[in-house]
Amino acid sequence: MKETPLSNCERRFLLRAIEEKKRLDGRQTYDYRNIKISFGTDYGCCIVELGKTRVLGQVSCELVSPKLNRATEGILFFNLELSQMAAPAFEPGRQSDLLVKLNRLLERCLRNSKCIDTESLCVVAGEKVWQIRVDLHLLNHDGNIIDAASIAAIVALSHFRRPDVSVQGDEITLYALEERDPVPLSIHHMPICISFAFFQQGTYLLVDPNEREERVMDGLLVIAMNKHREICTIQSSGGIMLLQDQVLRCSKIAGVKVAEITELIQKALENDKRVRKEGGKFGFAESIANQRITAFKMEKAPVDTSDVEEKAEEIIAEADPPSEAVSKPVLWTPGTAQIGEGIESSWGDLEEEEDEDEGGSDDVTILDSVKMETEDQNVGNHITDDTPIVLSDSEEDEIIILEPGENPKKTRIQANNSKQEKASSKKAIRKKKKKKAAN
């Protein structure tokens, strides 16, 4: 679906508000929206909500052979998908630009910064390594996808536990989850992307733009940093020209924000760990707030199925016996068989219409012969007038044989020079008229 265009007055309104340092949701220039992190029951599954932008992150692992030029390193694979439910403009075929940009940025942020220790993912050098796959799905787009996605990715990776392996000589033993506790990944640091939106050619700056603000912005600066104030990735897009001190200022702001967000992530991870250890309830079911009016829960409910058997027997007893099995096939000619009867055509009476569509003439066979026969084009009933239908016997004519319907009444005509025309085939009529004019 096409994105609803932003009206000019809305655009002007947003820009004027930004000039007066006001944001539509009441935030300050450097404020982030509320971040909420919830985990699923499986390790490595999390949903991050940045305001209304929602990203689902899922990590999975597999034992594979390593890349030839990196025999001792594990493989990391990132994939961000813009689900169709996130925004009406995200259709399966149509999102390539934005998708490529986001994926590339995410890869640079997470892979090139070496936040995951890939050497620790090696099991047997040159033969078996772990392939860690991070799948991110955008569930709702309300601006700033890249921040939410990077948070979801790093949270999911930190939450994930891979199965334990042991190597004895040539043998690799993979322990199931019940046998040995799964092992967390070794993560050096947590890079998080912070987005800055620029307006009016760099005069005004907003942190964490929401969807409306993104639509009117001139350019975007994304800085990926970790809490040790190391810049992992920096990207400026949109063609705005920034001054050096602007970029430095942004990096300082990013440093502060990353510290806050990292603390939040740590708290969420610890919370989840504690709940799991204590045996409490965890998972998405618990993160649905009870007080919300749009949420509702129902506890386990027993279902009484005691009378199921009697009911079933009753139904079977009353039911008709199953219908006859497949009817015997009828062989028309070698290679053509028919099983069962076709349904009656529902095209109805077509000869009454003068301007009928010559549907039947589309799939006709052309036959060159002296004696021709022609039959009614459609299954309808009989021709209103008894005039025989003729095709001229000139060889220049295309001879059209029309498909036989279930119609028993067929008119067989011998080729002759009679000048009668068939009402229902306009093409034939036109051709014959042309031929007659030519002759």
The DSSP letter of residue 187 is B
| CB 68, min distance to another protein, A | 32
Number of residues that bind another protein (CB under 8 A): 49
Structure tokens of 390? 């003729």
Task: Give the nearer residue to another protein in terms of CB position, either 39 or 198.
Answer: 39
| Closer residue to another protein, CB minimum distance, 137 or 227 | 137
Contacts 24+ apart (CB under 8 A), 241-245: 241/201, 241/202, 242/198, 242/202, 243/202
Taking the complex as a whole, how short is the minimal distance between the CB of residue 266 and another protein, in angstroms? 23
Pattern of binders to another protein over 81-120, x per CB under 8 A? --xxxxxx--------------------------------
Helix axes 244-278, 145-159, angle to 10 degrees: 40
Identify the residue among 9, 176, 243, 301 touching another protein (CB under 8 A). Answer: 301
Residue pair 118/61 in contact by the 8 Å Cβ criterion = no
HEC profile for 349-382? CCCCCCCCCCHHHCCCEECCCCCCCCCCCCCCCC
Q: Which of 299, 368, 385, 406 binds another protein (CB under 8 A)?
A: 299
Q: Are 47 and 283 within 8 A, CB to CB?
A: no
DSSP class of residue 119 equals G
Q: Which of residues 344-403 bind another protein (CB under 8 A)?
A: none
Classify residue 340 as left (phi > 0), alpha (psi -120 to 50) or beta.
left
Pick from 277, 281, 328, 371: which binds another protein (CB under 8 A)? 281
* Residue 47 vs 240, nearer CB to another protein: 47
- Rounded least distance, CB 315 to another protein, Å: 5
What angle, rounded to 10 degrees, do the helices at 145-159 and 96-110 form?
A: 40
In this structure, the strands spanning 330-333 and 336-338 are antiparallel
- Residues of this chain, 176-235, that bind another protein according to CB under 8 A: none
> In the set 125, 256, 288, 367, which binds another protein (CB under 8 A)?
288
Instruction: Please tell me what DSSP assigns to residue 286.
Output: H
d(CA 242, CA 249): 11
Of the candidates 298, 326, 339, 370, which one interacts with another protein according to CB under 8 A? 298
If you ran DSSP here, which 8-state letter would residue 312 be given? H
Are 43 and 112 in contact, with CB atoms under 8 Å apart? no
Minimum distance between the CB of residue 32 and another protein, rounded to whole angstroms?
18
Q: Which is nearer to another protein, 49 or 358 (CB)?
A: 49
Q: Is 313 in the site for another protein (CB under 8 A)?
A: yes
Q: Within 8-47, which residues bind another protein (CB under 8 A)?
A: 40-42, 45, 47
- Tally of CA atoms within 13 A in the half-sphere of 411 that contains its CB: 17
Q: Any bridge partners for residue 55, and if so which?
A: 48, 138
CB of 142 to another protein, least distance (A): 6
Site for another protein in 316-335 (CB under 8 A): 316
- Nearer Cβ to another protein, position 58 or 424? 58
CB of 258 to another protein, least distance (A): 26
Nearer to another protein, 277 or 328 (CB): 277
Taking a C-beta distance cutoff of 8 angstroms, is the pair 258, 208 a contact? no
298 is written with which tokens?
A: 């129902």
Give the nearest distance from C-beta 209 to another protein in angstroms: 15
- Say how many Å lie between the first and final Cα of the chain, rounded: 56
Q: State the Cα–Cα distance between residues 383 and 57, nearest whole angstrom.
A: 68
Sign (positive/negative) of CA torsion 201, 23, 256, 270?
negative
The binding track of 129-158 with respect to another protein, each residue x by CB under 8 A or -, is --------x-xxxx----------------
Closest approach, Cβ 91 to another protein, in A, equals 9
User: Taking contact as CB under 8 A, which single stretch among the options 146-154, 252-260, 312-320, 413-421 is the one that binds another protein?
Assistant: 312-320
Cα–Cα dist 23/143, whole Å: 14
Residues 6+ apart with CB under 8 A from 60: 44, 132, 133, 135
Q: Contact between 302 and another protein (CB under 8 A)?
A: yes
CB of 168 vs another protein, minimal distance in Å: 30
Give the nearer residue to another protein in terms of CB position, either 33 or 422.
33
Stretch binding another protein (CB under 8 A), from 155-163, 313-321, 356-364, 379-387: 313-321
* DSSP-assigned beta bridge partners for residue 225: 192, 231
Instruction: Name the residues that contact another protein, by CB under 8 A.
Output: 1, 40-42, 45, 47, 52, 54, 56, 83-88, 137, 139-142, 281-286, 288, 292-305, 307-309, 311-313, 315-316
